[in-house]
Amino acid sequence: MTKLSVNINKIATLRNARGGDFPNVLKAAVDCQAFGADGITVHPRPDQRHITKKDAFDLKGVITTEYNIEGYPSKDFIEMVLEISPDQVTLVPDAVDVITSDSGWDTITHNSFLKEIITEFKANGIRTSIFVNPEVKIIEGAKLCGTDRIELYTEDYASRYSVDKNQAIFPYLAAAEKALEYDLKINAGHDLNLNNLGFFVDNINHVSEVSIGHALISDAIYLGLENTIQMYKRLL
């Protein structure tokens, strides 16, 4: 079964809108796990507009499932991850001012850069995943970086799903096949939701984990957090 890692960035966004500590990010992580989440994902950014560095450290003490930290591997980010030692680190190529992730790594151009960082994380017992577009040559580059996993960037799939879901998923099929050929485990994330998730995991073999935040937290406003998590779990 594909694992569901709930990204709780939006909980922190809501908290930060008013200051204070409500809703409480740690309680949200505990509750998500109690409601069935297989893991918790956070993506702290340099401006700390949602998850803060303090949150990232504090969450280590309450996550009993799997802790995944996403982010651009700046010096500060690398030092933070090494100190926290989460179960998984997902490397994304985000610019400092980007609103949300908008592309995967060029694993060919940045191969030596990524390989050096991945080697350090793996030497410290941290599983690594690289955020990538669904391109066969990029998967080949990811293998050469030494990563344990890839995370397929699914925005293009999500945006094209309502037009032609079979065409939307086509490049992901080829990318997944290449990843399996190279013995890379497959994660996926970005704009997956209750409408398009089931078709994706039914067609892409051996997806280890999906990371979902914005859609899941938005659904929870109407459906309730526990019910929403269970609805996503049923699709998996």
Which residues are tagged catalytic?
43, 70, 190
Question: How far, CA to CA in Å, does 196 sit from each of 58, 135, 193, 231?
Answer: 33, 20, 6, 13
How far from the centroid of its chain's Cα atoms is residue 147's Cα? 15
Q: Output phi, psi for 189, to 5 deg.
A: 180, 155
Phi-psi bin for 89: left (phi > 0), alpha (psi -120 to 50), beta? Answer: beta
Instruction: Answer for the pair 72, 104: CB distance below 8 angstroms, yes or no.
Output: no
The whole-angstrom separation of Cα 129 and Cα 72 is 12
Nearest to 188 by CA among 138, 213, 152: 152
The whole-angstrom separation of Cα 72 and Cα 171 is 25
Instruction: Answer for the pair 70, 93: CB distance below 8 angstroms, yes or no.
Output: no
Instruction: Answer for the pair 11, 43: CB distance below 8 angstroms, yes or no.
Output: no
The whole-angstrom separation of Cα 176 and Cα 154 is 12
